[in-house]
């Protein structure tokens, strides 16, 4: 019988919020990481994208923070705005189950509004560049951050964010809990991971390789006026389950 989130130590409120999203049982990476993360231990996770690690660290953050804690009390550093918004979308409802606020700050959006939201949020998800902008303006303080997540840390290093990350981490509490997540922990990434953590639990997880089968390519020339009808006919004729359709513009979608 598979484990439940409650078996891993997740509270009823958070387990219910997960169930409401259709998540009755934890993924493998969540089973591996949550017990130590919930116990307050630093964790190093080497895992590919799509393994379920966002929920793993999201649950740990939500369970480790109280509504009356200072804001922000948790920080998630990510390399891109797309990942920042994705993380907020994934953990917002879980956070709400414990009356916690979560927001994302990133470049390309109004900094004044983000500054206001950052000081009202228990969990702050941020790209290094925008967070440094806020810190330089003294619009936000990290002095009360007791939980730190570095997600896709290898990508942040590849993008040249190591100096910024180092400056940001130095402003968090020294007794914080750190969760360090990366596709790999080899070489420089591993050295930095160990520098930011204390006696961490090391978890390395890879998806089981599945036979993807053969990909069949077909080309059909159609006019602008009848392309939608042709697409619908193709989808109806092929009983293949899920499908992905790429389009040129948002309007086309």
Q: What is each CA distance from 113 to 118, 145, 193, in whole angstroms?
A: 9, 21, 32
Q: How far apart are CA 233 and CA 93, in angstroms?
A: 38
Burial of 25 (0-12, 13-18, 19+ CB in 10 A): middle
- The answer to whether 5 and 27 are in contact (CB under 8 A) is no
pLDDT tens by residue, the chain, 253 residues: 579 999 999 999 999 999 999 999 999 999 999 999 999 999 999 998 878 999 999 999 999 999 999 999 999 999 999 999 999 999 999 999 999 999 999 999 999 999 999 999 999 999 999 999 999 999 999 999 999 999 999 999 999 999 999 999 999 999 999 999 999 999 999 999 999 999 999 999 876 555 555 566 677 788 877 888 777 777 777 655 667 788 877 666 6
Q: How far apart are CA 61 and CA 76, in angstroms?
A: 9
Q: Which of 35, 43, 69, 54 is nearest to 145 (CA)?
A: 69
The whole-angstrom separation of Cα 251 and Cα 253 is 5
Biggest CA pair distance of the chain: 63
- Residues 126 and 121: their CA atoms lie apart, in Å, by 12
Report the candidate in 162, 201, 156, 161 with the shortest Cα–Cα distance to residue 183.
156
Q: Tell me: domain 6-204, CATH 3.40.50.300, correct?
A: yes
Sheet of strand 177-182, all strands in order from the earlier edge strand to the far edge: 102-105, 123-126, 74-77, 147-150, 177-182, 43-46, 201-204
Distance CA 158, CA 236 (A): 43
* ∠ CA 130-171-100, rounded to 5°: 70
The domain segmentation of the chain, as residue ranges, is 6-204
Give the global pTM.
0.81
């Amino acid at each position: 019988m598979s484990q439940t989130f409650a078996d891993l130590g997740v509270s009823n409120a958070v387990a219910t919020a997960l169930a409401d999203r259709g998540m009755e049982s934890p993924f493998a990476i969540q089973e591996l990481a949550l017990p130590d993360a919930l116990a307050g231990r630093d964790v190093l996770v080497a895992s590919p994208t799509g393994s379920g690690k966002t929920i793993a660290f999201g649950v740990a953050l939500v369970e480790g923070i109280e509504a009356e804690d200072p804001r922000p009390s948790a920080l998630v550093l990510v390399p891109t705005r797309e990942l920042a918004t994705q993380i907020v979308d994934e953990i917002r409802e879980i956070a709400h189950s414990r009356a916690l606020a979560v927001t994302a700050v990133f470049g390309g959006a109004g900094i004044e509004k983000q500054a206001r939201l950052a000081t009202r949020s228990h969990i702050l998800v941020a790209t290094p560049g925008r967070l440094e902008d806020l810190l330089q303006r003294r619009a936000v303080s990290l002095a009360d951050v007791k939980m730190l997540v570095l997600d896709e840390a290898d990508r942040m290093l590849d993008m040249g964010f190591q100096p910024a990350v180092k400056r940001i981490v130095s402003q968090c509490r020294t007794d914080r809990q750190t969760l360090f997540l990366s596709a790999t922990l080899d070489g420089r990434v591993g050295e930095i991971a160990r520098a930011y953590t204390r006696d961490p639990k090391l978890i390395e997880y890879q998806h089981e390789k599945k036979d993807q089968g053969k990909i069949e390519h077909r080309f059909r020339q159609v006019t602008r006026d009848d392309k939608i009808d042709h697409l619908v006919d193709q989808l109806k004729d092929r009983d293949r389950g899920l499908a992905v359709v790429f389009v040129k513009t948002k309007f086309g979608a």
